[in-house]
Chains A and B, each alone.
Chain A
Amino acid sequence: MCFKNLPIDFDANGKATLRDGVADPYAITAAKPKGYVRRQEGPGAQLAAPPKLRDWSIDPVTRVAGALAVHTTLDLENRKAVDAYSRAMLFRGYEIILQGRDPRDAIDISSRACGVCGGVHATVASLNIEQAFGVCPPPLGLAVRNLGEVGEMFYDHPLHLGLLAGPDYSTSLVSVTNPELVKRAEKTPAPGYEVHGFRTIKDIMDAMNPLTGKIYLESLEYTRIGRVMCMLMYGKYPHPSTLVPGGLSTTITTSSFNEYYTQLGKIFDYTKVMIATWDDIADFFLEANPAYEEVGKRPINLIQTGIWDDTDVYDATYANCNEWGNRRWAKPGIIIDGKLVTTNLTDINMGYEEFVDHSFYDDWTRSGSQRFATDPNGNPISPYNPWNKETIPRPTATNFKEKYTWDTAPRWDRKTVETGTYGRMWTTALAGQTPENPFLEATGDGLRMVLPRHHLPETEVFWKVPRSINALERNRARAYAMAFTSTIGMNCLLKAFEYWRRGETKVSTPFKVPKDERVSVGFWEASRGFLVHHLHMDKGKLLNYQITTPSTLNAAPRDPFGGMGPYEEAVVGTPILESVSDDEVKGIDILRAIRSFDPCMPCTTHMDTGKGTIVREVNSCGCTLE
């Protein structure tokens, strides 16, 4: 079945059990962290020419959300990065602050763990609480929640493409690191001219210049449009004001929908332009130098929890979570080596573990016994599952062999997994099941999407699952993600209209705070992917509340088995493709690799880079660490 490392078997009915005869199924065989080792002793150490190694500490990594630092070692002889450490630099203690509070407060407090993606935290907390309380929002409430989250994504995608990652491909930066590319770009006509209006690739790169470029400024304006769409459903952004237990408190009127769908047309046009733009940029770089495929490349191991519920199927229960999970517009799933191994949320939860061997926390498994051996459905869970986790901060001096980050090391089936916007497109494409609709079709090898006309004509686009996962493909997929999101938004809007026509206008279900013991989990996705909140409550108070964010996964440090985190894997092996002398290397390819993940560290991590020394580098999201 889907587990290769954890001793979990499934019987004929698909029920999971721990394999018989394994004494300690979750035992850890610690291994020394893999890192690049200089030849310091032994035969040949003195004879061989010392490799031109340079330590480089990037603290802070900028143009990412939150505090991230990365320490890398560059091999200037072979022109590539050979080592990396990802560091989350901030701890605030949200999980501890949530303990002992009224569970309803988790919506507003966990939202404030991350101001870059506050809507998704409030939403996943709502899902979590409704599962614990046993209430399900009415269909229009679910539809409105879907629409609010579509809006939130349209603030986040332009932010990433235009303001954070985009400038790395702009004339003002590339002219410093690779002047020959700018020259080439000037002579290269842009294939997407008809759509985006830029005649040459150089024109596109000019438009990506920070603070002055057309794409940069337009993207900033579109983040505002996305936020307005989100606010029409969620009241306020960041930190929504109308998400409540049992649904929403938004007063939905004809005007809410009117103001929403009149923005959608603009979004469709902007999406067409951004896809054409990023196709041109990515193709240009890959053609100019195929080695760009190696920048930020790592194995295709992805984990996603899915987002945008089927409003007819979702029932807020853990018992049926595989059923409603599989009916989401963006599918949950695990991809290992490019193959979709499961789409069940219970499998995702069963295989999910968090390790703190290289983080500034104490290992909770050493104190006391495991709280839960199984999930509410009877599936085995690890002592390292968030339901069993306890947050015990222990700030200490940074040591790359020991502890060096505030981020934890989440793994699935003990493998390093990455998550992202592209990840949910990947799982959706491979799962190949989309409901009958005019706008979006998953074909098994990609996503076919039809964007309705606005100023620009109706446009069909196809996102083909890339053959490798690297910085340029992550960014290109982010542009296609806007088509994915807006076509889902259109479907959800039509669904909301349907309920509205039928007079089903309620958006919340009354509830009572239960006084008995409850455990629950919210599965949702941030713009950058995987987002899970685990809850344990009793007597109307929270006993444990655990937040796992996409950047918790992506910015993760090394695990006890010696494996690296996703940023670390992506940086190691990234070639230095700058056409300048060793002394002028700016490390832009390293930064491109990191930024392509869209790190969001407000609650996660932070990395440091020091001048002239290679240091470890970490990316995370403000929502990763806690």
Chain B
Amino acid sequence: MSEGRGARGQRTRREPLRASGGTPAESSKSAHAGPMARSAGTQPAADELGAWKAELTPGLGTVDLIDGYDPYDPFSPIGIRSQVLEEPDDTLQIGPLKKIYLIWMVGASCDGCTVAVSGGTHPRVEHLLAGIIPGLPRVELIHTVVSTESGPEWVHNLFMAERGELDAPYVITWEGSIMDESVAGDGYWMGLGDDPQTGRQITSLEWLDRLAPGAAAVIAIGTCATWGGIPASKGNVTNAMGTMDYLGKDYRSAFGVPVVNVPGCAPIGDNYLETAAATLLFLNGLGPLPEFDELGRPAWLFGETVHRHCPRAGYYEEGVFAEEYGDHECLVELGCWGPVVQCNIAERGQIDGHGGCMNMGGICIGCTMPGFPDKFSPIYEVPPGSYLSSNTSRVAGGFIRRMRNISRIDKNMTPRWDKDTPSGWARSRTGPKGALKQVHKFYAKYQHSHESYN
């Protein structure tokens, strides 16, 4: 029984392990047999196990059985979902949604999007899964890389979702291109699980067919899932395509949402997590409906070209360009596509503000765009059009840069340093000389002419 609130308002709890499903031993016999279950099994040491179960899992809440599976039952086949997590028992509930399932499915994927999201920090994925972000529902993740259950137990989650037996809505995140299984003959491009009745191989695409209609939302993550990406580029034997291509223009999720697209190869983990968090806040009645552009991208993330926030854009403005790999100036003449590519990596960085393409010296190869990779290749070739713009900037920016340098030299002098700096680091006079000095005198007069003390 719950002990109620402690002295400082924190709840301490010691509830019985389960209130439904009979005794531990009974339930383990009936509903929780493992993959090897056969009817003639014996139950050695069941009492001992029962005692252990109570001892090992103090504080687990009471939950209802879902289709015979109790996610908090350590007797379930190995690691049915996050069996070790405690169901929060807050009385202070922010928003109506307490839990949501995230079914993460893959097609022609490299797992890079999964890896990118696991590196995200706003919010951290483990915080979403633990349900410890105020106002956000707990996210229960069904993902082959993370789940503790394997094989048929894992696939069972998908069957439950299809039959509407999950106790909360589910969102599908699709990673990787969609491969056309109709051109795979008797085989498959990507198999995922067997049908328990017939033993038939199920493809991962079949799961999208079965689950998309009932999903609260379908979020395509990464350039493969959004637009098709590399598997869909020249030489594509699997007839690969993006999620929208497959589900069609008219697709709407159970909540009425078209496919949401978070592109990038790999995407910035935080772009996905932030979009997910904003959507969950909206579903919980707390945040506004996030804004998406006409391709279903989060508009606040992909509305600008990456060049506009590039730390090297100032060099472009002044007409200074890197000539060799490793130089610190603007990379446009090394083949950077930043000025026309919609992405936010320049201001956001890759992980927790660190890294990023141009930030570190890498050219933009257009990996967030529907035209990637074919319209950006050969990747290290300079696009001819960029010379037009870079030479224009070389002329105008070159003039501006020289003017700025004149001012900068003057502004590096204190009023006291009329002729020279007292710095031992300086080799010779550093201030403006000769005619420039006169120019500065007049300029300073003009600059301060409107000020009242003159």
Which of A290-298, A526-534, A580-588 is the interface stretch? A580-588
Distance from A355 Cβ to chain B, minimum over Cβ atoms (Å): 18
A538 CB within 8 Å of chain B: no
Distance from A408 Cβ to chain B, minimum over Cβ atoms (Å): 15
* A residues near B115, Cβ cutoff 8 Å: 115-116, 238
- Point out the residue from A99, A118, A177, A580 that lies within 8 Å of B112, measured CB to CB: A118
* A residues near B109, Cβ cutoff 8 Å: 90, 115, 602, 622
* B residues near A235, Cβ cutoff 8 Å: 350, 355-357, 359-362
Closest to B114 in A: A115
Closest to A585 in B: B36
- Point out the residue from A175, A234, A591, A623 that lies within 8 Å of B52, measured CB to CB: A175
B34 CB within 8 Å of chain A: yes
* B residues near A56, Cβ cutoff 8 Å: 35-36, 151
Bound CA span A114–B110, Å: 5
Contact A585 B34, CB 8 Å, known A109-B373, A395-B185:
yes
Bound CA span A506–B324, Å: 9
Residue pair B231, A608 in contact (C-beta under 8 Å): no
Interface of B is mostly: loop
* A residues near B359, Cβ cutoff 8 Å: 235
Distance from A64 Cβ to chain B, minimum over Cβ atoms (Å): 7
Bound CA span A66–B325, Å: 34
Residue pair B150, A609 in contact (C-beta under 8 Å): yes
* A residues near B193, Cβ cutoff 8 Å: 59-60, 608
Distance from A476 Cβ to chain B, minimum over Cβ atoms (Å): 22
* A residues near B45, Cβ cutoff 8 Å: 179, 579-580
Which of A223-231, A279-287, A309-317 is the interface stretch? A223-231
* B residues near A237, Cβ cutoff 8 Å: 119, 350-351, 355
Residue pair B230, A109 in contact (C-beta under 8 Å): yes
- Point out the residue from A69, A91, A252 that lies within 8 Å of B326, measured CB to CB: A252
Distance from B243 Cβ to chain A, minimum over Cβ atoms (Å): 16
Residue pair B126, A395 in contact (C-beta under 8 Å): no
Contact A64 B37, CB 8 Å, known A69-B191, A91-B190, A212-B85:
no
Chain A residues within 8 Å of chain B by Cβ, number: 120
Q: When each residue 83-98 of chain B gets 1 if its CB lies under 8 Å from chain A and 0 otherwise, what string results?
A: 1110000000000000
Residue pair B84, A211 in contact (C-beta under 8 Å): yes
Residue pair A245, B231 in contact (C-beta under 8 Å): no
Which of B63-71, B74-82, B398-406 is the interface stretch? B74-82
Which of A100-108, A409-417, A429-437 is the interface stretch? A100-108
Residue pair A62, B325 in contact (C-beta under 8 Å): no
Residue pair B189, A251 in contact (C-beta under 8 Å): no
Residue pair A249, B326 in contact (C-beta under 8 Å): yes
Residue pair A583, B34 in contact (C-beta under 8 Å): yes
Contact A115 B191, CB 8 Å, known A58-B150, A105-B378, A241-B357:
no
Distance from A154 Cβ to chain B, minimum over Cβ atoms (Å): 13
- Point out the residue from B196, B231, B233, B237 that lies within 8 Å of A393, measured CB to CB: B237
Distance from A536 Cβ to chain B, minimum over Cβ atoms (Å): 16
Which of B4-12, B14-22, B140-148, B284-292 is the interface stretch? B140-148
Docked complex: A359-414 residues within 8 A CB-CB of B:
360, 393-398
Contact A236 B361, CB 8 Å, known A96-B235, A105-B377, A581-B43:
no
Bound CA span A587–B34, Å: 9
Residue pair A65, B145 in contact (C-beta under 8 Å): yes
- Point out the residue from A99, A506, A581 that lies within 8 Å of B44, measured CB to CB: A581
A67 CB within 8 Å of chain B: yes
Bound CA span A509–B411, Å: 38
* B residues near A66, Cβ cutoff 8 Å: 111
Closest to A179 in B: B52
Contact A249 B43, CB 8 Å, known A63-B146, A67-B190, A235-B356:
no
Distance from B433 Cβ to chain A, minimum over Cβ atoms (Å): 31
* A residues near B106, Cβ cutoff 8 Å: 67
Bound CA span A468–B78, Å: 28
Bound CA span A101–B147, Å: 38
B56 CB within 8 Å of chain A: yes
Bound CA span A479–B141, Å: 28
- Point out the residue from B33, B36, B75, B355 that lies within 8 Å of A74, measured CB to CB: B36
Residue pair A101, B378 in contact (C-beta under 8 Å): yes
Closest to B359 in A: A235
- Point out the residue from A113, A175, A253 that lies within 8 Å of B53, measured CB to CB: A175
Bound CA span A109–B204, Å: 24
B48 CB within 8 Å of chain A: yes
Residue pair A249, B362 in contact (C-beta under 8 Å): yes
B238 CB within 8 Å of chain A: yes
* A residues near B360, Cβ cutoff 8 Å: 231-232, 234-236, 241-242, 250-251
Closest to A164 in B: B145
Residue pair A612, B36 in contact (C-beta under 8 Å): yes
* B residues near A94, Cβ cutoff 8 Å: 230-231
Closest to B230 in A: A112
* A residues near B31, Cβ cutoff 8 Å: none
Distance from B161 Cβ to chain A, minimum over Cβ atoms (Å): 16
A539 CB within 8 Å of chain B: no
A183 CB within 8 Å of chain B: yes
- Point out the residue from B43, B129, B362 that lies within 8 Å of A236, measured CB to CB: B362
Residue pair B112, A238 in contact (C-beta under 8 Å): yes
Distance from A137 Cβ to chain B, minimum over Cβ atoms (Å): 10
Bound CA span A583–B413, Å: 85
Q: When each residue 198-228 of chain A gets 1 if its CB lies under 8 Å from chain B and 0 otherwise, what string results?
A: 0000000000011111000100100110011
- Point out the residue from A76, A581, A591 that lies within 8 Å of B150, measured CB to CB: A591
A613 CB within 8 Å of chain B: yes
Residue pair A231, B380 in contact (C-beta under 8 Å): no
Residue pair B56, A115 in contact (C-beta under 8 Å): no
* B residues near A231, Cβ cutoff 8 Å: 350-351, 354-355, 360
Residue pair B354, A232 in contact (C-beta under 8 Å): yes
Distance from A34 Cβ to chain B, minimum over Cβ atoms (Å): 24
* B residues near A253, Cβ cutoff 8 Å: 328
B310 CB within 8 Å of chain A: no
- Point out the residue from B34, B38, B40, B355 that lies within 8 Å of A586, measured CB to CB: B34
Bound CA span A59–B130, Å: 27
Contact A583 B189, CB 8 Å, known A115-B110, A115-B112, A236-B357:
no
Residue pair B151, A61 in contact (C-beta under 8 Å): yes
Which of A39-47, A166-174, A555-563 is the interface stretch? A166-174
Residue pair A249, B325 in contact (C-beta under 8 Å): yes
B272 CB within 8 Å of chain A: no
B179 CB within 8 Å of chain A: yes
Bound CA span A259–B349, Å: 15
* B residues near A612, Cβ cutoff 8 Å: 35-38
A553 CB within 8 Å of chain B: no
Distance from B307 Cβ to chain A, minimum over Cβ atoms (Å): 15
What are 30 inter-chain pairs, A to B, with CB distance below 8 A?
Answer: A57-B151, A62-B151, A63-B148, A65-B145, A87-B191, A90-B191, A92-B238, A97-B231, A101-B234, A102-B378, A104-B381, A109-B230, A167-B79, A179-B49, A182-B52, A210-B84, A212-B130, A220-B118, A236-B360, A237-B355, A241-B363, A242-B325, A242-B362, A245-B380, A582-B36, A584-B28, A586-B34, A602-B109, A603-B110, A612-B35
Q: Which 6 residue pairs are nearest across A and B when measured between Cβ atoms?
A: A115-B112, A583-B41, A395-B187, A241-B362, A231-B355, A609-B151
The interface of chain B, by Cβ under 8 A from chain A, is 28, 33-45, 48-49, 52-53, 56, 74-75, 77-79, 82-85, 106, 108-116, 118-119, 121, 126, 129-130, 144-152, 154-155, 177, 179, 184-194, 196, 199, 201, 204, 229-231, 233-238, 240, 265-266, 324-328, 331, 334, 345, 350-352, 354-357, 359-363, 365, 367, 373, 377-381
